[in-house]
Every structure is written in C-alpha cells, then in structure tokens.
Homo-oligomer: A and B are copies of this chain.
Amino acid sequence: MPKLGMEPIRRAALLKATIDAIGDHGSLEVTVAQIARRAGMSPALAHHYFGSKDDMFLAAMRHVLTLYGAEVRMALAGAEGPRARLEAIVRAGFGPSNFRPEAVSAWLNFWTMARQSPGAARLLRIYEGRLRSNLLANLRPLVGARAPAAAERIAALIDGVYLRQGIRTGEPDPAQAVHLVLSALANETGETPQ
C-alpha cells in the first residue's frame, strides 16, 4: 500500500477534511483524530505531515484563501470594464465553491481564529487588502473621489452577508446574496437602485 509521492495527496486530503470537519462541526473544536479519520488516515500521519493541529488549521485557512483568490482571478479574467469587473468580484465571492455551508462555517471560524493566531490574522488582512484594492480600482472610474469610502462600504457589506449566512439554516442562496450586494453597488454608482 505505501507508495512514493504520497505527501501532496495526503496533505490535500487533510486540508479538505479539515475544512469539512470545521464546517460540519461549526467550530474549531474538532479533534485531529476526527479530521484524520475523515481523510482516511491515522492521527499520527496528520501530525507527521503538518507538525501540529495549529499548523494544519493555518494551512487549511491558506487553502481557502487560495481557492478564493483563484476564483476571483478567473472571474476577473473574463470581465471587461469596471462595472463588469465589480460584478465579477461579487459573484466570485458568492460562487458555489466559496459559498457552501461548510466553507462559510469554516471561514467564520478562521475569522475568530485570527484573534489568537498571528498567522491567521495576517492571512485575513491579506484577504481584506486584496478585496479592498480590487473594489477600489474598479470603483474609481465610476464614482471618482468617493471610491475609497464606497469600497469600504461594499467590502463590509460583503463580509456582513457572509457572516449572516453563517446563522441561516438551510442552503445558502448565492443569487440572493449577489443581488443584495449588487443593489448596494447600484446605490453607490447612482444607477437606479431597487
């Protein structure tokens, strides 16, 4: 059974299992054993590959942000003009791979993790920075000097919608979430709001 080159496979399996476990459980109080079992291996192996539970959590968070970043980049690639790009950013944030219940729940927990783990805080600030600068760059052509404040409002709104999904029961409704943010965006850009 033991083969060579298992490391990347095992690591990926553990990261996915970590996110799912945190998402399912709704908190960071998940045991390494639970995660390892989910990933089909022993707790000892999880430690072998990640060193510690904290490191594994941090890697999982990084993974989530990487996925998010990729999704945003991909969405931006196909968008022309600031209006379309803003929409792309919003849609990417609520895209199917980010807006799953487990991902939202995991995300929420990573957020609280940032209060204790400097590494987690740093990751979160990176995400925040990217989101703000993406919004800002595309709002500027539309609203000029009001762009910084508008970007701040939209960013906070996105986070708020995400957060509130965390306590909703049932499946997330991406369409509604996107619509909510886009209508706020319309307010900002002076188009007919709804």
Contact = CB atoms under 8 A, between A and B. Distances in A.
A160 B159 CA distance: 5
Interface residues of A, number: 41
A3 interface: no
B105 A115 contact: yes
A167 interface: yes
Contacts of A108: 111-112, 115
A166 B112 contact: yes
Interface in A144-171: 146, 149, 152-153, 155-161, 163-164, 166-167, 169
Interface of A: 25-29, 105, 108-109, 111-116, 121, 124-125, 128, 146, 149, 152-153, 155-161, 163-164, 166-167, 169, 180, 183-184, 187-188, 193-194
